[in-house]
């Protein structure tokens, strides 16, 4: 693939505007600012902020032809940045059957039966975002149950984590799942026994996702990218870091980069492949994303130092040897690339952190900003090592709500035990150690909802790991911009910065009556999203 493609939106930049009657809150302004001392006007021109201040001070801009826009007393922040998502997969799932609304197995099977009736003959029927813990029966449907409601038709249902799925018999045949595929469960665990239909890491990454992508034509992928971009804009996101390519979405990076100039928001593309020649061909300054060092906690494939509490013979899965990871990280680091690797738990974190420390020792660089994606169950020592190495923790605070919500505390205790589980998403400890943390969603694992992520970090079920609202906001603004070397353009409301804005119905830090109820942050209405100084939602 030739030529450099700018990893951001390049639509015609808007004209000059003077925005008035709003609270313009910079994420690094004092969190105690109540409104009267905040700027209430902003001038934008050519897609960038020209001035921020009091309306009286900026009034001369109106005389220069800046179009006056009344913001109706709203709170305006820098546009949110989602630092870990999968734009194409999000769009594919948004265009497919959403199983997150199901409350029982019967609901799931009814939805599958309806989809089969409406699908073209011979087409695979896909369902996404299935979470068995949200079902009354608290289990996935079986291969036999799917066979019964879709006789002769191929059905694949993807778990909400995207780290396991269930297929029926025709789907196993259509995808040609090979005997001995790692992660493909068999009855009784016997290698010669029939498949159960469940495929988890690593087979879901190496076989299932590539097969899904191969089954979709280019117009469908282009449509998926646009659908996902619009979903992100509706919740105030103006930049997404999208993890594409590699085994998870083969060919996805060229698709995303080809669409970048047509999408209504900015994209930072991470090519999640160890093929550095491919990264150079794509002209990207970074490599990684979901290069998976391990699997996923709930699937019991994340790599632990000690076995899962409810599965004494299983301590998870490392997908690379230490030598393989060392060689990859050093090679990328020596070429000046920023590196990001998926590590959910201790053993994977240790492997990748060792590789990053070694690369810096052998090839010193002053500001590499390598990232560990997820960083969900670190040890206290690993947190300190992250700080010393200057490695960024790219985390998804909304996972806290998913993991700890409703009646799931007992489930976590069964996985990790009461002591180990208290190291899950330890935001306070990470920030206090000096580690930079950027926020994301891992969409489609959780939806694009940055305010929900902020609320989850503030309302951590382990109070000692809670953060302030100001800290949570910075994860999706200033720290997010820093994590991609974009702090000169994004994340703050300062002259010269891009005029990418989110307009909120309430100030997430304070309101007119006093401190914001942090539990309600997730419900703050997003009134509009602006890119290049122009409103893009609600759609004009």
Q: Residues 445-469, buried b or exposed e (16+ Cβ, 10 A)?
A: bbbbbbbbbbbbbbbbbbeebbbeb
Domains assigned to the chain: 17-78+493-537 (2.30.40.10), 93-201 (3.10.310.70), 273-482 (3.20.20.140)
What pLDDT is stored for residue 519 in this prediction?
A: 65
Query: Do residues 387 and 434 make contact, with C-beta atoms less than 8 angstroms apart?
Result: yes
Q: What is the pLDDT of residue 477?
A: 99
Beta-bridge mates of residue 24: 76
pLDDT tens, 497-518?
Answer: 999 999 999 999 875 444 555 5
Q: For the chain, which ranges sit under pLDDT 50?
A: 1-13, 512-514, 540
User: Which residues does residue 234 pair with via DSSP β-bridges, in sequence order?
Assistant: none
Q: Is this model's pTM higher than 0.85 or not?
A: yes
Report the candidate in 435, 400, 440 with the shortest Cα–Cα distance to residue 421: 400
Residue 403 has a pLDDT of 79
Contact 8, 260 (CB under 8 A): yes
pLDDT at 1: 28
Beta strands in 348-486 (DSSP E): 371-377, 392-395, 437-439
> Is the Cα torsion angle 110, 113, 118, 120 positive or negative in sign?
positive
Per-residue confidence (pLDDT) for residue 419, from 0 to 100: 94
How far, in Å, CA of 347 to CA of 344, rounded? 9
């Amino acid at each position: 693939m030739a030529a450099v493609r700018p990893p951001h939106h390049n639509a015609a930049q808007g004209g000059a505007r003077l925005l008035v009657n709003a609270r313009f809150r910079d994420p690094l302004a004092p969190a105690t600012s109540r409104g009267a001392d905040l700027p209430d006007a902003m001038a934008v021109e050519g897609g960038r902020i020209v001035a921020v201040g009091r309306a009286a001070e900026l009034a001369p801009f109106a005389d220069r032809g800046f179009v006056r826009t009344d913001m109706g007393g709203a709170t305006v922040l820098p546009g949110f940045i989602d630092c870990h998502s999968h734009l194409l997969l999000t769009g594919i799932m948004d265009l497919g059957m959403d199983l997150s609304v199901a409350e029982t197995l019967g609901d799931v099977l009814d939805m599958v039966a309806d989809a089969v009736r409406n699908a073209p003959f011979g087409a695979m029927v896909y369902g996404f975002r299935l979470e068995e813990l949200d079902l009354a029966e608290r289990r996935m449907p079986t291969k036999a149950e799917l066979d019964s409601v879709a006789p002769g038709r191929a059905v694949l249902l993807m778990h909400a984590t995207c780290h396991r799925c269930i297929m029926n018999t025709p789907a196993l045949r259509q995808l040609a799942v090979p005997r001995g595929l790692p992660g493909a469960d068999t009855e009784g665990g016997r290698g010669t026994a029939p498949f159960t239909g469940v495929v988890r890491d690593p087979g879901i990454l190496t076989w299932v996702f590539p097969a899904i992508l191969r089954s979709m034509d280019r117009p469908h992928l282009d449509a998926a990218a646009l659908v996902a971009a619009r979903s992100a804009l509706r919740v105030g996101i103006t930049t997404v870091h999208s993890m594409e390519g590699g085994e998870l979405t083969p060919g996805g990076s060229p698709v995303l980069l080809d669409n970048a100039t047509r999408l209504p928001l900015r994209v930072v593309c991470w090519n999640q492949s160890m093929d550095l020649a491919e990264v150079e061909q794509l002209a990207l300054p970074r490599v990684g994303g979901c290069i998976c060092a391990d699997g996923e906690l709930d699937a019991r494939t994340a790599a632990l130092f000690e076995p899962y509490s409810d599965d004494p013979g299983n301590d998870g899965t490392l997908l690379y040897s230490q030598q393989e990871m060392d060689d990859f990280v050093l090679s990328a680091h020596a070429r000046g690339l920023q590196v990001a690797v998926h590590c959910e738990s201790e053993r994977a974190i240790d492997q990748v952190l060792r590789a990053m420390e070694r690369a810096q020792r052998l090839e010193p660089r002053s500001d590499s900003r390598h990232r560990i994606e997820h960083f969900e169950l670190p040890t206290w020592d690993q947190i300190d090592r992250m700080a010393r190495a200057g490695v960024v923790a790219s985390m998804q605070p909304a996972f806290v709500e998913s993991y700890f919500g409703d009646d799931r505390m007992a489930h976590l205790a069964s996985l990790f035990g009461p002591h180990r589980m208290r190291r899950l998403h330890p935001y306070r400890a990470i920030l206090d150690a000096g580690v930079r943390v950027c926020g994301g969603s891992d969409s489609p694992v959780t939806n694009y909802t940055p305010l929900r992520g902020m609320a989850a970090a503030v309302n951590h079920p382990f109070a000692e790991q809670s953060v302030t609202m100001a800290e949570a906001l910075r994860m999706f603004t200033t720290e997010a911009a820093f994590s991609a070397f974009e702090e000169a353009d994004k994340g703050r409301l300062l002259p010269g910065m891009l005029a990418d804005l989110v307009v909120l119905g309430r100030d997430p830090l304070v309101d007119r009556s006093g401190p914001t109820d942090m539990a309600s942050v997730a419900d703050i209405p997003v009134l509009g999203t602006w890119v290049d100084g122009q409103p893009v939602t609600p759609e004009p």
